[in-house]
Every structure is written in structure tokens, then in C-alpha cells.
Amino acid sequence: MEIADDLDSDMTAEPKGDAGARIQPAGYLLELSLDWIVLGASENIHHLLSESHVTLIDEPLGKFVHAQALHDLRNLFSRLSGTTGIARAYAVRLTDDNDLVDVAFQLSDGRVLLEALPSAGRFGEHFGSVAGLAAGLADARGQALLDGGARRMRALTGYDRVTLTFGNRRAESVRGAFEQPASSSESLPAIVTDTDGPGIALFPRRLEDTSAAQALMASCDPEAIEQLRREGVRASLRIPFSADETAGEFRCDCRAPHVPGFELHAAAELFAELFALRLELDRLKNG
């Protein structure tokens, strides 16, 4: 198992009239207590753990996954405790199944949200390019710095369009045409893999007493999905950051469905942090 510590279902609209939290079908979600008892499970979890979502509830996760995998994940969790960051582990074998998964988890309202995706199997590919991309911004200033940040984020992620907003400033790097410019995306989760994919319910189906809305691949409201469709967007990646107490965001859009993987998401977060430092240096040098 490869582990990375990043401290600091596809996301589609939840069908109206269907109560409870939902996630995107590209991945799996477990909601755990702080002692790793399963409180909720996405209803596709049998594809990952070979157990029904009903069977898992109120049972320790260790009953269904390999002891070594659980040990490694809990060690990573112990370093995450008390932070608001996201921890990730790559190429994890949870069960006797030969398939490996990448895992991301975070603390939310006193619970552990554990998400899993099929492993991309190329750990380090994206991280390896972050330093060089950030270094290429060393001499950029003002609007040129924003333009360069948007271009380099698009090079890193491979998405069709990257829109960078920072306060009231904006930059865009785009390949081809979209139906509309990118709109405000605060209501979107971090990762949208297919605006046309069906949401997967979290069991038990309840509207309250869950933290699933904070998941990287949570579903979102139908209005936000419809807005993405109007823009010609099928997949999206949101990377918020802040510099000089000003909020900023990279939003990466694709015209086709796309599952970015947790390592790419982590690499994009790292690039955004380095870009925020460059913005602060630019302010200090230019008053």
C-alpha cells in the first residue's frame, strides 16, 4: 500500500422525493464512528467489500477488511485527527479481491468519511510535475500570474477548461468552446465525474445525522447539475485556496465524463497552495 498524508455513484443530482444522502457512482463511501464502527454505507458497497450495505451497519470495519490495511489506514487517521485536511492512501488491498483501490478520508462532525475509487496504479505521476509547473510562475506578475496559473493547472489536470477566480479577478485557460462561461461553483463538491450519472444512496436513508454532504464525491442539488449541463460541462474539479485573506478557486471542467482519481486531486491541491504563495509574494513585491 502506498500512503500519502495530505493534511492542511458520480456526482449527480439527488432525485427529488428520494430522502437521504447520495454519492456519485464512480466511488464508494463509508461513514464511520471515531472507533471505526460503520454508521453508513453507500448502497454499491458490495462491489467493494463483497458484503451488503445492510450487513455492515453497526459492525466494526475490521470485520470486513484485511487487518494490515486497517492498521495502515488507522495509523494515517491518527495523524489526521484534530485537522480539517484530507488523508489519502494509494493502491490499497482491502479484501481478498485482487483489485486495488485509492482511499481518501476526512473528519466531519465527529465522524470519519472514507471514500474509495479503483486505483489508477500510477502514484506519483501527477505529483512529479507540480514543482516544475509552479516554478514556471516565478517571473510572472499581476494578471500574467493568474493567466499562467490557469494554464498550468490545465496542463496538470488535463481538463478542457480551467477557470481561476481570485477575489474579483479572473483568468481562464480553455481548449475548444463551451456553451457558457463557468459560473459560481460553491455549491459543488470537490469532484464531479459525470453530470448524467445516477446518484447512489447512503444507507440508512436519512436526511439528518450524516456528514456525507462533505464527501469529495457527494451528490449535489439538481439546480447545480442543470447549471453545469447548460455550460456544456459533464465533469468538474474544484480546488479552493486563499491568499492574503482573499478566497480563490480553480475550477476545472470537462465536456466528457472524467474520474480524476485522488492523487490528481491531491496534486491539484498542492499546486493551488504553491500558487497562493506566489500570489502573496507578488503582493509583497508590488506593494
pLDDT value of position 187: 83
- From 179, 27, 34, select the one nearest 106 (Cα to Cα): 34
pLDDT value of position 82: 56
Query: Mean pLDDT, to the nearest integer, of 153-167?
Result: 96
Query: Mean pLDDT, to the nearest integer, of 70-83?
Result: 80
Protein fold of 127-286: Beta-Lactamase (3.30.450)
Same fold flag, 2-118 and 127-286: yes
In the chain, % helix, strand, coil (3-state, to 5) comes to 30, 30, 40
What is the share, in percent, of the chain residues with pLDDT greater than 90?
69
- pLDDT tens-digit map of 137-151: 999 999 999 999 999
State the chain's mean pLDDT as an integer.
88
pLDDT value of position 185: 75
Query: Mean pLDDT, to the nearest integer, of 17-45?
Result: 89
- Report the range of poorest mean pLDDT among 15-24, 235-244, 274-283: 15-24
Global model pTM greater than 0.75: yes
> 198: which DSSP letter?
P
> 61: which DSSP letter?
G
Tell me the HSE value of 283 on the side-chain side, using a 13 A CA sphere.
10
- Work out the pLDDT band at 63, boundaries 50, 70, 90: very high
Query: Mean pLDDT, to the nearest integer, of 245-266?
Result: 94
- pLDDT tens-digit map of 170-218: 999 999 989 999 988 778 999 999 999 889 999 998 756 678 888 999 9
CA-angle at 154, arms to 285 and 281, nearest 5°: 10
- More confidently predicted of 245 and 250: 250
CA dihedral 130, 4, 89, 266 (to 10 degrees): -30
Query: Mean pLDDT, to the nearest integer, of 58-66?
Result: 96
pLDDT value of position 287: 60
Residue 258 pLDDT > 80: yes
> 213: which DSSP letter?
G
- Work out the pLDDT band at 17, boundaries 50, 70, 90: very low
Residue 16 pLDDT > 90: no
Query: Mean pLDDT, to the nearest integer, of 224-252?
Result: 94
The domain 2-118: what is its CATH number? 3.30.450.20
Using an 8 Å Cβ cutoff, are 163 and 182 in contact?
yes
Residue 13 pLDDT > 50: no
Using an 8 Å Cβ cutoff, are 256 and 235 in contact?
yes
Sign of the dihedral through C-alpha 8, 99, 252, 201: negative
Residue ranges of domains in the chain: 2-118, 127-286
Residue 166 pLDDT > 90: yes
- Work out the pLDDT band at 6, boundaries 50, 70, 90: very low
- pLDDT tens-digit map of 78-124: 876 555 688 999 999 999 987 899 999 998 888 999 999 999 777 77
pLDDT value of position 245: 87
Distance CA 189, CA 113 (A): 14
